[in-house]
Amino acid sequence: MTDTQILSLISAWQPHFSSLLLAPSHSEFSAARRIWNGMIDRQPALIARCTSPQEVMSAIKLARNEGLHVSVRGGGHGVAGSAVCQDGLMIDLSPMKMVAVDPARREAVAAPGVLWGEFDRATEIHGLATTGGQVSHTGIAGLTLGGGLGNLLYISTSPVAWRPWRSHHSSPGSRG
């Protein structure tokens, strides 16, 4: 995809996003495509930093309409680097940070950009914890899909059930 094609795609789709869509020429692009494994050096055609489920839907529509393949970034700690695609659309969910804890039901609902340490802090103030990871900066998205080998794995103590964010939960960025 040429620079001109990318820029015209951005002007058509930017109104659907609250954060700037990033082309490779943008000053924030290099930082946005960087993940934990520094050996991964792929360059997406475009990065969409999503802040809501609606924006994720727009990103998927964009990719479908424009014939781009996609990758999804949560905490960016997948060692294989599958969060970053080459020449496609990288859907960056890292701005989605909401954690809502319902202590009575011992349940937490969390958005896909939350890191393990952020999730842990939100539950521990209620005296609740669950197994996730041992390293605070891994993403809960990847831990949910595979992994989840944390300190509490073999200990039964104050478990909190948690499930991914659904769109009926309000305000990204808020914490309960």
Ligand X SMILES: Cc1cc2nc3c(=O)[nH]c(=O)nc-3n(C[C@H](O)[C@H](O)[C@H](O)COP(=O)(O)OP(=O)(O)OC[C@H]3O[C@@H](n4cnc5c(N)ncnc54)[C@H](O)[C@@H]3O)c2cc1C
Residue 148 identity: G
Residue nearest to ligand X (CB): 142
Q: Which is nearer to ligand X, 21 or 91 (CB)?
A: 91
Cα–Cα–Cα angle for 103, 112, 44, rounded to 5 degrees: 170
What residues are paired with 72 via a beta bridge? 91
- The binding track of 119-138 with respect to ligand X, each residue x by CB under 6 A or -, is --------------xxx--x
- In the complex with ligand X, the residue whose CB is nearer, 44 or 139, is 139
The site map against ligand X for 75-114 (x = CB under 6 A) is xxxxx--xx---------x------------------x--
Q: Classify the C-alpha dihedral 138-118-165-128 as positive or negative.
A: positive
- φ and ψ at 175, to 5 degrees? -130, 145
Amino acid at 23: A
Which stretch in 23-31, 44-52, 60-68, 71-79 sits in contact with ligand X by CB under 6 A? 71-79
44 near ligand X (CB under 6 A): no
- Residue 1, token pair as written in the block: 């995809």
Which residue of 57, 125, 149, 161 would you call a contact of ligand X, by CB under 6 A?
149
CA dist., res. 70 & res. 63, Å (int): 7
Strand pairing category for 107-110 and 161-164: parallel
CB of 92 to ligand X, least distance (A): 9
Of 20, 36, 95, 158, the one binding ligand X (CB under 6 A) is: 36
Measured CA to CA, the distance from residue 24 to residue 104 in angstroms comes to: 47
**The one among 45, 59, 62, 72 contacting ligand X by CB under 6 A:** 72
Kindly tell me which of 18 and 82 has the beta carbon lying closer to ligand X.
82
